[in-house]
Amino acid sequence: MSSGRSVDDKISEELKSLSLRGPAGGSGRGGGILLEEEDEAIRFANVRKKDFKLWERVKGRMINILDGLELHTSVFSAAEQRRIVDCVYDFQEKGRKGKLRERTYLEPRKWMRGKGRVTIQFGCCYNYALDRNGNPPGIIRDEVVDPIPPLLKQMIKRMVAWHVLPPSCIPNSCIVNIYDKDVCISPHIDHHDFVRPFCTVSFLSECNIVFGTQFKTNGPGDFSGSATIPLSLGSVLVLNGNSADVAKHSVPIVPTRRISITFRKMDDSKIPYDFIPDPDLQNLRPLSLRGQNHPNILPLQQDQQDEPPKNAQHSQKVQQAQKAQQAQKVLQSLALQRPMQLSEDDFLPLSSNTTVQFHRK
């Protein structure tokens, strides 16, 4: 018997290393993460999407209050998450030093349990409550904040390319939230100055998000509703339909520091007066699920919460066998292909002033 590794072992190890590989000569926080075609294929194939169902009586009829809610995992690698978090801290430091526009950065005084969330807004200034100038909650159209930085634009491109967000609703604003320990977000429905769908990406620590039409307050920052959904690191939660407009959502007090980034598209009638559309975010298109160049790219996988069929055990075995065969085809295909460089740009540090160009095929 040969003591060497098999071809499959070598391929498997190579694929695992791809998500952490930077460009040639790149290192440190300033380096980018370069996706090659092999990496794009295998990572896109491994994205998981889960839909949710929770039936409740609303205005006299039973509806799925979580209709439109999706949770996507494996969209951002561990290395990409670390780079994004580093850049968020860079912007927090700039905000503290007054190097960002006035309404871009907000760090409120922590006066009770549940308060003290740092917010960094890009694209538009959203007002959470009636302010001292008499502005009601919503987008303040005559306020100017910093534009979406290059790294966050790359996140948007990734989510559109990988079928997480539709090309008909490309975000043109976002808000970064930095939660300290014991900080929460009370139950609410996102303002309709923003169209649907919108999404939130989670970093640093796992936490729960709670949905429901009715909430119970158990204590300061402690809310309970009809459904509690854990948000894993790097996951993307997409809210649309009933999950965005019928059910409220809340983040109860977090046990440790957490960062989230929420991406939203502004309603055309609410866009700030001086807003200039970003050319890097125009006409983005998703990758083909089964293109000519990658006939073996697997479609996005879905974990449904429907009732299991009567022959669920047999069906599950068949599905597992089919997935194993498809995965083997991907590995065999990748082993025979020559590495090629994607036209999509790599992740840039937020401090970069370089304009990112998105090459469309």
Total residues belonging to the chain: 361
**Confidence band, pLDDT 50/70/90 cuts, at residue 219:** confident
Structural domains of the chain, count? 1
Q: Are 117 and 185 within 8 A, CB to CB?
A: yes
- Is the model more confident about 51 or about 109? 51
Torsion of CA 187, 234, 109, 174, to 10 degrees: -80
Judge whether residue 298 has pLDDT over 80. Answer: no
Q: Which of 53, 49, 61 is nearest to 241 (CA)?
A: 53
pLDDT in tens, 120-171: 999 999 998 877 788 888 999 999 999 999 999 999 999 999 999 999 999 9
- Mean pLDDT value across residues 21-29: 36
Rounded-to-integer distance, Cα 257 and Cα 250, Å: 17
pLDDT of residue 44: 87
Give the rounded percent of residues in the chain with a pLDDT score beyond 70. 68
User: Is residue 76 in some structural domain?
Assistant: yes
User: Is residue 357 in some structural domain?
Assistant: no
Residues 6+ apart with CB under 8 A from 232: 73, 202, 206
- Mean pLDDT value across residues 53-73: 97
pLDDT in tens, 257-295: 999 999 999 999 999 999 999 999 999 999 887 644 444
Judge whether residue 360 has pLDDT over 70. Answer: no
Q: Which of 232, 233, 210 is nearest to 223 (CA)?
A: 210
pLDDT of residue 124: 97
pLDDT of residue 258: 96
Please write down the long-range contacts of 214-218, taking CB distance under 8 Å and 24 or more positions apart. 215/187, 215/248, 215/250
- Is the model more confident about 302 or about 171? 171
User: Is residue 245 in some structural domain?
Assistant: yes
Q: What is the CATH number of the domain that holds 248?
A: 2.60.120.590
DSSP for 236-302?
A: EEEE-THHHHTSEEEEPPPSS-EEEEEEEPBPGGGS-TT----GGGSS--PPPTT-SS-TTPPPPEE
- Mean pLDDT value across residues 225-237: 96
Residue 200 forms beta bridges with which residues?
Answer: 237, 262
Rounded-to-integer distance, Cα 187 and Cα 252, Å: 9
- Mean pLDDT value across residues 334-358: 37
- Is the model more confident about 342 or about 102? 102
- Is the model more confident about 24 or about 206? 206
Chain centroid to Cα 52, Å, comes to: 17
- 3 state DSSP class of 186: strand
pLDDT of residue 115: 63
Locate 216 and state its tokens: 């119970």
- Mean pLDDT value across residues 88-95: 97
pLDDT of residue 204: 97
Judge whether residue 330 has pLDDT over 90. Answer: no
User: Is residue 88 in some structural domain?
Assistant: yes
User: Is residue 304 in some structural domain?
Assistant: no
Least confident residue range of 201-215, 286-300, 339-353: 339-353
Rounded-to-integer distance, Cα 209 and Cα 248, Å: 10
**Confidence band, pLDDT 50/70/90 cuts, at residue 30:** very low
User: Is residue 3 in some structural domain?
Assistant: no
Residues 6+ apart with CB under 8 A from 178: 88, 92, 117, 118, 119, 120, 257, 258, 259
User: Is residue 94 in some structural domain?
Assistant: yes
Question: In Å, what is the CA distance from 80 to each residue of 20, 139, 354?
Answer: 8, 30, 19
- Mean pLDDT value across residues 198-224: 93
List the domain range (segments joined by +) for residue 145: 9-18+33-281
Q: Which of 303, 305, 200 is nearest to 249 (CA)?
A: 200
- Mean pLDDT value across residues 235-241: 98
- Mean pLDDT value across residues 237-260: 96
pLDDT of residue 23: 35
pLDDT of residue 302: 41
Rounded-to-integer distance, Cα 332 and Cα 315, Å: 26
User: Is residue 324 in some structural domain?
Assistant: no
Judge whether residue 57 has pLDDT over 50. Answer: yes
What is the overall mean pLDDT for the chain?
78
Least confident residue range of 41-50, 160-169, 336-345: 336-345
Instruction: Please report the sign of the dihedral spanned by the C-alpha atoms of residue 330, residue 292, residue 340, residue 343.
Output: negative
